[in-house]
Structure 1
Amino acid sequence: MNWRTLIEDVCDIIYPPANTCIFCNQQGELIVPYSMCEHCWDTLPFTKPPLCDICGKPIDSDKLRICHDCAEYSRSFVKAGAVLEYMPSVHETIYRYKYKGHSELAKPLGLLMAHVVSRVAWPDMDVLVPVPLYYERLRQRGYNQSALLARYMGYELNLPVLDKALYRCRDTKAQATLGRAERRANIAGAFDVKDAKDIKGKTIMLIDDILTTGATADACAQALLVGGANAVYVFTLATGVLK
């Protein structure tokens, strides 16, 4: 535990957080430190096998090893995983966190991500790298949701977080408004490495809030590999469900 975590824990004692579940908004006894009620813990769509061996999305058959997207498109990252399927019960919480200024949700969500990822058979990671925002979007939002998640994951997993390793070298359209092919074209070449010596030879876990088509993760991973990273894995709070 570092000094920032200690200060936050002391603040939680002096100013206790609202006794409200971050997913269903019901008051009552919560599972600490995830600020989640037992009902949501039991009923939320946590990812479970069968999953694509590459992107980590749920697939329909135990006989399949990879989904049709990963069969069609080569990936720059080795493997991706996520805590939750991006279903309606998950959408509202992520939307509040990402777009409505509720940065306080970063701590329980980031700790939940750390809890889940520590139970998956990943290779040893050297560093966590969050997906960056373009500077204008960061100024408007006030925080990078992926960087905050990575920060709390790093605290819990005792891993360094390189939140300046990647940067967006150009602005892009919002990915949510685009189709699969458009997403890949929109995000291609949008990222670059700030200082290659920070990532050279390292095995990196890229952190983001949602993985949909994987286009953003691919573009980030490609930039990191070009910059000298050994390998890139991806972990997100939620993953889209294949249609």
Structure 2
Amino acid sequence: MPTMVTRRIFLGALALTAALAAGCTSDTDAPGGASLPDGAALMKDAAAATRDVRSAHFSLKVNGTVAAIPVQNAEGDLTREGGPSGAAKGTVKLTLMGQLIEGEFVLVDDSLYIKGPTGGFQKYPAALTSNLYDPSAILNPDKGIANVLAQVKDPKTEAKEDVDGVSTYRVKGRGAQDVVSAIVPGVTSDVDVTFWLREDTKLPVKAQVKLPTADGGEATVDLTLSDVGKPVTITAPA
């Protein structure tokens, strides 16, 4: 059960989500007085570009505490190759039942492998994970980030910003519960979603989802994508 919960927490948080604040300008003014692009048009272009992405590196961080997402951070590679659901590998750090857990994971050919601080990788059958979220959902053109981009409500371009040296447009909107909950566990209502889209290709560089906490506060799930399109090979651990 801890493994199932861990995978749900990590993979669900990862899929959006998951994707991820910087300076402010108005919706109509960019640096130098230039007009900012229309938010809806940017999101449409971003969704189309993201549907073609077949691999990427991700870095995930959760700021705050959400019962369904006790992940602190995660990092790894994703690819749409390596099985019907694609493949993923990386590291994850999370708090589960009051204990801090750190480990490596590999998901390939519909099998999940997990390695803790000691010992080797342990393989878990697909029967234990078939009903859980798949990390390749982030690259799935039908239910992943491309779908979220395409269905964000009332997108508004807020600013032009540099993110890690990349020129981007920051676009904010609302993500419908039925769209976001498909890849982020614990979402029970519409949520604020912010994307940082590359000025040149419109691909998402960062994404941020705001979620309510049990004490009435607010937490964010931040996802950074890089090395988009870089070849990724993932194989089962020996």
* Bucket of the pairwise TM-score, normalised by the shorter protein: under 0.3
TM-score normalised by structure 2 residue count: 0.25
More strand by share: 2
Greater relative contact order (Cα 8 A, min sep 6): structure 1 or 2? 2
TM-score normalised by structure 1 residue count: 0.24
More helix by share: 1
